[in-house]
Structure 1
Amino acid sequence: MTLWTSHDAAAATGGRATRDFAVGGVSIDTRTIRPGDLFVALQAARDGHDFVAQALEKGAGAALVSRIPEGVADDAPLLIVPDVLGALEALGRAGRARMQGKVIAITGSVGKTSTKEMARIALNGQGVIHAAEASYNNHWGVPLTLARMPENTDFAIIEIGMNHPGEIEPLARFARPHVAMITTVAAAHLEAFGAIEGIAREKGAIFRGLLTPGTAIIPEDLSVTQLLRDCADEAGAIVIGFGQHGMAKPLKAETTDGVTQVRARILGETVDFTLASAGTHFVMNAVGVLAALSAAGADMAQAARELSDWRPPLGRGAVEDLAGIRLIDDAYNSNPTSLSAGLATLARLTGGRRVAILGDMLELGPDEVAMHRAMADDPAMASVDLVHLAGPRMRALYEALPETRRGLYAETAADLAARVADLVAIGDIVLVKGSKGSRISTVVDALRRTGESSAPGERTA
């Protein structure tokens, strides 16, 4: 399948093609490039121009460049532009403009990627589906996703993220969604925003990119729900709330052996579905997804059936059995809201001792120590038998926990991982969670290595 011809790509970007070409995909990484892709020589940690020759050797159909790189022939298939990132953005705009299907955009402090994957899987069987790869949700990830979108796409799911004020609206205007969903608003990136209200306003900026009339899918039951509604109203959007008191809400959720059976009421229709997770936050996001898909014109009953094929992405709450323990790998990100949800998931699982292994929550601003300490009072913490902690911020939680729940404490996750044999025992249910920068995933890696070689040691008090 041809995604871009040299003529179409040159028209979209204003660039000059050195010769005719046709490409079937768009790539920014020679490690994963496929034959026939257009290689985009972005300037990131390294200059992508240094890898153009390698990309062409691996079968790239052409390269998007701002100059002819050293070692590349003058007659190589190149699209030469003044600025590579600007050209990628232009290619993304052109990809969006020619697509006549429905676009759903998803943002939120927690759960963007898992919710995007829910939507993608739920749409199975309903036409040509295109979704963002991994967590490609930033200033180059969104245009890259749009540039990769086939012209005949029926439904596209675009993930939009942010670290600083002013990032979401431009990306939403790139995507021009028909439906925009906010998973939740939580204390993440507080260093950049100062207060949760600032985060809510930034998330609400996604609605400014909606086509008219667009639909805003908003989480109910938050302290900032009204602020999100105000943002949607200002954008002229139709508002659908999801949550315990929303137009889309779960009626019943029963978890057995890590699998949750859900009955929900979505826009007046009752549906049943199954999720391969024990997390109630996943249940809520699934309800929001079904509302979003219904608003985009999808068959909601079919989407609900397809949800049984969804699994949490790696590092985002997947439950796995590992050499005598049950592991909840939630090591990709953390903030007080998501940690509370992780602890609640741990509390709902039964069958053994519950152990939490926690790394620092980062970018919480000046109140970070108090936020870590306050997790000792989280309602689900009462159901946790033992808590191991790593990182200077988690020292505050260690000191706030009763001695009966204190496990090991280490300054770094690597130090904790080195003592993996002392962390868990056969039969334990283990949650590992922390911000990505805390590197608590090293403990997950150590647990998996231990599981490959031998079972964990005898249980200690």
Structure 2
Amino acid sequence: MSAVHALLRQWPSDPRDALPLALWDAASIEAATGGRASRAFQASGLEMDSRDVRPGDVFVALKGEAMDGHKFIPAAFAKGAVAALVDRPVDHPHVLVKDTTEALHALAHYARNRADAVRIGVTGSVGKTGVKEAIFASLDRSSRGAAHRSVRSYNNHVGVPLSLARLPARSKYGVFEMGMNHEGEIAPLSAHVRPHVALITTIAPAHIENLGSMEAIADEKSQIFTGLMPGGTAIVPADSDYTPRMITNARNMGVKVVTFGRSANADVRLIDAIPGANGGSLVTAQLGPGHGNARVCYSVAEPGEHWISNSLGVIAAVRAAGGDLGAAGLALAEMGGLKGRGARHNINVSGGTALLIDESYNANPTSMRATLKALGQTPALRRVAVLGTMGELGEFFERFHRQLAEPITDAQIDHLILVGEGMSDLAAELSKRHAKSLGFVPSFEHCATTKDAISVLGKFGLTNGDVVLVKGSNFMGLGALVTHYTKAAS
């Protein structure tokens, strides 16, 4: 026997090697759902939107109150679907089940149970998608591609089961985002995932119109702890007014609690943060007595103080999941902004280029303040902000919009474009400050729609060295303004 063959015989075995490479096949879907397959097949993916189907996918024909996915089966197969999950026979390869939604849940639980993966759940009022992506990048790097996560913002009663059903059998880690609009929505999502680690990023007045109070928001977010596996870890921000409440909620579940933040008693504690050359930060953190009070130092590519806090949560989650902190540091140093959540674009303007910061996907008072502060710290010849109405604020609507005047003036924004009827309260506050001439107040214009904002910004005229922040709740459609300028630059 050659030396090479001898070394190959010593290659360590991994039980995962015996697991299938295909995400799903006809037999495993039958086993998971109790359905009946019309023929044998293997699938590399699972999709519920016919527009997003890729070759090799199983198309799940979900039925809702207003739409029946069975109508889109021909379109799904035209895009390369190999089979469909249906509640009635169709003229295509399929698995017939009683109810496609229940079958999707069954696939999710089957996928969860067959994969020996550490599962991490992420929720919070602000930053959950970015933190989810950072945890995934950290674990994917250290596991050499054996990590999985929910894509986009698939964080609701359909997106979470779908993301879980996409978990490959050979995965070592799975990272799942969980969101809510109303009371009672987080617990069922956590019950699907059964995370080993559950993280709350922060508590802020997002969806306060539906929840009624900050205490209710903290309690609802804490419901992510109800699904934790025995011996699991709850990770809680240490610097929130609602930290004691979240810790109590977690301890009532009988799980370990880890805190992160600037607080002196945080388990993952910020020691120092130095501004980086490219807008990020160099962070030093202490890991607490459980790790000999060891310190870690790493770079965070994303700008803003909120990302310093986010990074501490990422470090806490990776450590709790048994991941590699060195890989986490590298991932945080390389992360770029996500579409609609901090992506940065250089756009062609008069005399050169301007920087456009895309925060168009969502907005609430806390995230508005954080991104406005980050804008104020961004080097620029002129700072411009296009701000859209914030939604789901209920009786706090007028107050929260008016209160944006302070972070806007603190950021020394040169020109402001306010979009939507809801911004009239902020416009009135800024007008009042102009009249009193108290300190710096930016020039501003108020318009009704994103289309109007594109026109107003065009007339204002961007020039070389400008920085433009675009931020608002998703229903305002400010992504169209980002697309308008980025397409023109490409």
Q: TM-score band (shorter)? A: over 0.9
Q: 1:12 is matched with which residue?
A: 32
User: Is the 1:277–1:319 contact (alpha carbons within 8 Å) kept by the matching residues of 2?
Assistant: no
Give the direction of change, closer, same or farther, for the CA distance of 1:247–1:363 in structure 2 (3 Å limit).
same
Q: 1:206 is matched with which residue?
A: 224
Per-residue CA deviation, residues 305-336 of structure 1 (Å, 9 max, x unaligned), is 23222112111112332222121111110010
CA distance in structure 2 between the partners assigned to 1:154 and 1:219 by the alignment: 26
Q: 2:479 is matched with which residue?
A: 441
CA distance in structure 2 between the partners assigned to 1:196 and 1:424 by the alignment: 41
- Match status 1:48 vs 2:69: yes
Give the direction of change, closer, same or farther, for the CA distance of 1:376–1:137 in structure 2 (3 Å limit).
same
CA distance in structure 2 between the partners assigned to 1:78 and 1:131 by the alignment: 26
Identity, in percent, stands at 40
Query: Which residues in structure 2 correspond to 1:326-341 (within 5 Å)?
Result: 326-341=355-370
User: Is the 1:398–1:406 contact (alpha carbons within 8 Å) kept by the matching residues of 2?
Assistant: no
Q: 1:236 pairs with 254, 262, 268, which one?
A: 254
Task: Report SS of the residue matched to 2:392.
Answer: coil
Give the direction of change, closer, same or farther, for the CA distance of 1:55–1:451 in structure 2 (3 Å limit).
closer
Per-residue CA deviation, residues 323-381 of structure 1 (Å, 9 max, x unaligned), is 22121111110010000001111011123222221110001011201110011123863
1:155 Cα deviation after fit:
0.7
CA distance in structure 1 between the partners assigned to 2:124 and 2:356 by the alignment: 25
Q: 1:459 is matched with which residue?
A: none
Q: Which amino acid aligns with 2:456?
A: R
CA distance in structure 2 between the partners assigned to 1:388 and 1:56 by the alignment: 45
User: Is the 1:124–1:303 contact (alpha carbons within 8 Å) kept by the matching residues of 2?
Assistant: no
Q: 1:80 is matched with which residue?
A: 96
| Cα RMSD, aligned residues only | 1.7
Q: 2:307 pairs with 269, 278, 282, which one?
A: 282
Q: 1:28 is matched with which residue?
A: 48
Give the direction of change, closer, same or farther, for the CA distance of 1:241–1:424 in structure 2 (3 Å limit).
farther
Per-residue CA deviation, residues 9-61 of structure 1 (Å, 9 max, x unaligned), is 11211212122222222111233322222110112453211122332343322
CA distance in structure 2 between the partners assigned to 1:94 and 1:319 by the alignment: 39
CA distance in structure 1 between the partners assigned to 2:356 and 2:75 by the alignment: 40
1:409 Cα deviation after fit:
0.9
Q: Comparing 221-230 with 370-379, which one deviates more in the overlay?
A: 370-379
Q: 1:260 is matched with which residue?
A: 281
Q: 2:160 is matched with which residue?
A: 142
Q: 1:421 is matched with which residue?
A: 458
Q: Comparing 149-158 with 56-65, which one deviates more in the overlay?
A: 56-65
Q: Which amino acid aligns with 1:112?
A: K
1:422 Cα deviation after fit:
2.8
1:279 Cα deviation after fit:
1.6
Unaligned runs of 5+ in 1: 453-461
CA distance in structure 1 between the partners assigned to 2:262 and 2:129 by the alignment: 22
Task: Report SS of the residue matched to 1:177.
Answer: coil
Q: Which amino acid aligns with 2:248?
A: D
Q: 2:317 is matched with which residue?
A: 292
Task: Report SS of the residue matched to 1:366.
Answer: helix
Q: Which amino acid aligns with 1:410?
A: C
Q: Comparing 417-426 with 291-300, which one deviates more in the overlay?
A: 417-426
User: Is the 2:234–2:256 contact (alpha carbons within 8 Å) kept by the matching residues of 1?
Assistant: yes
User: Is the 2:373–2:411 contact (alpha carbons within 8 Å) kept by the matching residues of 1?
Assistant: no
1:302 Cα deviation after fit:
2.4
CA distance in structure 2 between the partners assigned to 1:446 and 1:381 by the alignment: 29
Q: 1:377 is matched with which residue?
A: 406
Q: Which amino acid aligns with 1:144?
A: L
- Match status 1:226 vs 2:244: yes
TM-score (norm 2): 0.87
CA distance in structure 1 between the partners assigned to 2:294 and 2:93 by the alignment: 53
Q: 2:106 is matched with which residue?
A: 90
1:133 Cα deviation after fit:
1.1
CA distance in structure 2 between the partners assigned to 1:68 and 1:51 by the alignment: 14
User: Is the 2:273–2:281 contact (alpha carbons within 8 Å) kept by the matching residues of 1?
Assistant: no
1:412 Cα deviation after fit:
2.1
- Match status 1:100 vs 2:119: no
Q: How many correspondences in the alignment?
A: 447
Q: 2:183 is matched with which residue?
A: 165
Task: Report SS of the residue matched to 1:256.
Answer: coil
User: Is the 2:359–2:471 contact (alpha carbons within 8 Å) kept by the matching residues of 1?
Assistant: yes
Q: Comparing 32-41 with 336-345, which one deviates more in the overlay?
A: 32-41
